[in-house]
Amino acid sequence: MLIVKQRKPALNRRKFLGLSATALAVGASTLTVPAQAVPFYNYPARQLTFFNTHTNEIYRGTYFYNGGYDRAVMSQFSYLMRDHRAEEVARIDYRLFDVLHRLQASLRNFDVIQLISGYRSPQTNAMLASNSSGVAKNSYHVKGQATDIRVDGMPTEYVHQAALSLGAGGVGYYPASDFVHVDTGPVRTWGYGAG
């Protein structure tokens, strides 16, 4: 069931104080270690929770259990990841959800994934590419194989390092815009807005 609602701020006082205390205790030089050190275990049931930052829709679903993918949940995920500009829905590559689940497992954080961008129609992608050098003309977003995300309660740098540690596809780092791109294409990496 798709729920449309306003969300509370992602980082509450308790989480902020906890993250601050952790950062002080371990020191800034070890910030990327947790994401790289935690192995992924093949969970028998895999659940994700998405919040679409453009439409304010939130959906939580167990998309994999009993050795198979739940088509109804995958359909809801695809709808949530639609091109909101064109109101166009496309089938999202199932492997992308597994990458996101592995990413959250490596972070030890199964909080909400903030969805910045999922599927893009060719027209939307062309419009965005004409306005920004950070948008690929042949983007994996158009193929339903990419997403731009944040993870509630996690610094973008942690999410980036965890995504890199998976070696599972493309990883783009956009610290100035506060998101990480993840896709199921060839393994590669890039970054924009770091300076």
In the prediction, which pLDDT does 76 show? 97
Confidence band (pLDDT; 50, 70, 90) for 138?
confident
Question: What's the whole-number mean pLDDT along residues 4-33?
Answer: 43
Give the per-residue pLDDT at 39.
43
Question: What would the pLDDT profile of 76-124 be if each residue is shown by its tens digit?
Answer: 999 999 999 999 999 999 999 999 999 999 999 999 999 999 999 999 9
Which amino acid, one-letter code, is at 9? P
Report the C-alpha gap between 124 and 142 in whole angstroms. Answer: 9
CATH code (residue 171): 3.30.1380.10
Residue with tokens 């944040």: 150
pLDDT at 55: 97
Flag whether 24 is in a domain.
no
**Rounded Cα distance, 71 and 102, in Å:** 20
Residue 1 has a pLDDT of 52
Question: pTM to 2 decimals?
Answer: 0.78
DSSP string, the chain: --EE-PPPPSS-HHHHHHHHHHHHHH-GGGTTHHHHHPPP---SSEEEEEEETTT-EEEEEEEEETTEE-HHHHHHHHHHTSBTTTTB--PPPHHHHHHHHHHHHHHT--SPEEEEE----HHHHHHHHHH-TTS-TT-TTTTT-EEEEEETTS-HHHHHHHHHHHT-SEEEEETTTTEEEEESSSSEEEE-S--
In a domain, 151, yes or no: yes
Question: How many structural domains comprise the chain?
Answer: 1
125 pLDDT band, cuts 50/70/90, is: confident
38 in a structural domain: no
Is residue 17 assigned to a domain?
Answer: no
Q: Find the domain containing 59 and state its range.
A: 45-191
Is 160 domain-assigned? Answer: yes
For position 42, what pLDDT does the model report? Answer: 66
Domain presence at residue 5 = no
pLDDT > 90: what percent of the chain? 66
